[in-house]
Chains A and B, each alone.
Chain A
Amino acid sequence: RKEVEQDPGPFNVPEGATVAFNCTYSNSASQSFFWYRQDCRKEPKLLMSVYSSGNEDGRFTAQLNRASQYISLLIRDSKLSDSATYLCVVNKTPFWVRGNEKLTFGTGTRLTIIP
């Protein structure tokens, strides 16, 4: 089983719709969680961190379910500019430990917003 698993998609969603994707992780000791966004042929960029209580940033909502070991990303009122690949990232190392940036990346979920 992969450490971090995502549905690769593609998700083709009409503009204005709500879309959600999940990401499961295998290591119950995982400490921190992130969603990154990667546009075609570009570098990944942080979309949002995922906090235990869930968090929202505009149209984006991230949730963490430690019991079931998954995180989710919800995008409301989707825009054409949301078309990208969304990477789930998990860190199982406490930040004070050397080598904290041993992040594990999922393979990404490709999202296309259709006009």
Chain B
Amino acid sequence: NAGVTQTPKFQVLKTGQSMTLQCAQDMNHEYMSWYRQDPGMGLRLIHYSVGAGITDQGEVPNGYNVSRSTTEDFPLRLLSAAPSQTSVYFCASRGAGTPNSPLHFGNGTRLTVT
């Protein structure tokens, strides 16, 4: 069972570079989301999607874009990387069933921007 797959696991960027973090899930989940985790801050929601073709902003969306062309994929684009975007990024998905259905997280991407 693949679950939620994120790539790459690690990435180093220079300030101003752009890149895309990939996320795919094979559980046919409607909801997908991107979080960043920083020391002392907890996980913060960047963007989320409630289904293919629908995306919305979370708590910290600036500097990031997303798209959801299929149910399975939800890539996160960094348009012009900044040192403040150094963080651990997690993609997560959940089904639209009961209100307590859990979030399934990917393994995370550790991004360093120099």
Contact A43 B106 (CB under 8 A): yes
- Taking the closest CB of chain B, its distance from the CB of A90, in whole angstroms, is 11
A1 at the interface (CB under 8 A from B): no
Question: Chain B at the A interface: mostly helix, strand, loop or mixed?
Answer: strand
Q: A-B pairs with CB below 8 Å: how many?
A: 60
The contact string, 1 if C-beta is below 8 Å from chain B, for chain A 92-114, is 00110011111111111000000
- Interface residues contributed by chain A, number (CB under 8 Å): 27
- Given the complex of chains A and B, what is the CA–CA distance between A42 and B6 in angstroms? 13
**B contact residues vs A (CB 8 Å cutoff):** 31, 33, 35, 40-45, 48, 50, 56, 58, 90, 92, 94, 98-100, 102-103, 105-108
**A contact residues vs B (CB 8 Å cutoff):** 4, 8, 31-32, 34, 36, 42-46, 49, 87, 91, 94-95, 98-108
